[in-house]
Amino acid sequence: MARYIGPVGKISRRLGIGITDKGSRILQKRPFPPGQHGPTARRRQVSDYGLQLLEKQKVKYIYGVLERQFRRTFEQAAHRSGVTGEYLLSLLERRLDNVVYRLGLATTRAQARQLVAHGHIVVDGRKTNIPSYTVKVGQVVAVRPESRRRAYFKNLVDSGDLNKKQIPDWLRLASAELAGTIISLPRREDAEQGINDQLIVEFYSR
């Protein structure tokens, strides 16, 4: 399964946004670009193309999607009626690995991707090990019954940590069953904050 496995701190500092919680913590401690001259380097003026490219890279890293897959997702969004950027973010939010993360079944998207790839997640009762699978309204995402006996999932239930998670409005969590239902499409405000989706549309529209 292809994915980015490089340093999240370095990428977060280069893009100016935490692509993970760890990246955010590193960025708070070192809020300047990486490299020997990072603390004193002047920020160069970025062209319109550069801004568009940075925005695309930012979203790719946040959601853990590689270039070819990201382009396919954008093309899928572009063929839909409505606002392309908003539907792009809706598709990214409805990736199975992101849904597992949003439900609180994993602490990071990378961990959620691993849980899916290792076969611990079912969609409507069927094992689904494809992190990029797009869930639909009405579908139920749950931990596989055989996997619930594992210490990690038992601790999620016994500790009550799942009940402390802030679940977005488009999902409904049944914490005791380690399951969640997609009750509506995610809205623009449900996506990660600080994203300018219009810049991504402009990048691919060149």
User: What is the tens place of the pLDDT at every residue in 68-95?
Assistant: 999 999 999 999 988 999 999 999 999 9
Question: Do 57 and 77 fall within a single domain?
Answer: yes
In a domain? residue 193? no
- Is position 30 within any domain? yes
Q: Residue 119 sits in which domain range?
A: 96-182
| Domain-ending residue, one of 54, 73, 92 | 92
Q: For position 100, what pLDDT does the model report?
A: 98
Same-domain check for residues 15 and 85: yes
Question: Would 56 be classed as within a structural domain?
Answer: yes
Contacts of 7 (CB under 8 A, 6+ apart): none
34-75 pLDDT per residue, tens: 655 556 555 567 789 989 999 999 999 899 999 999 999 999
**In-domain check, residue 25:** yes
- Asked if 107 and 41 sit in the same domain, the reply is no
**What is the CATH classification number for the domain harbouring 87?**
1.10.1050.10
Q: Is the pLDDT of residue 117 over 90?
A: yes
Q: Residue range 148-161: average pLDDT?
A: 91
Specify whether 14 is located in the same domain as 77.
yes
Residue 168, domain member (yes or no)? yes
Give domain status of residue 3, yes or no: no
Q: How many domains does the chain have?
A: 2
Q: Report yes or no on 70 lying in a domain.
A: yes
pLDDT band at 165; cut points 50, 70, 90: confident
The verdict on 19 and 44 lying in the same domain is yes
Q: Mean pLDDT throughout 176-188?
A: 95
Here the CATH number for the domain that contains residue 142 is: 3.10.290.10
pLDDT at 110 over 80: yes
Where does the chain show beta strands of DSSP type E?
A: 121-123, 126-127, 140-143, 171-174, 179-182
- Written as six digits, the tokens of 126 are 């069927």
pTM for this model (two decimals): 0.82
Range in 118-122, 126-130, 148-152, 191-195 the model is least confident about: 191-195
In this structure, the answer to whether residues 86 and 100 fall within a common structural domain is no
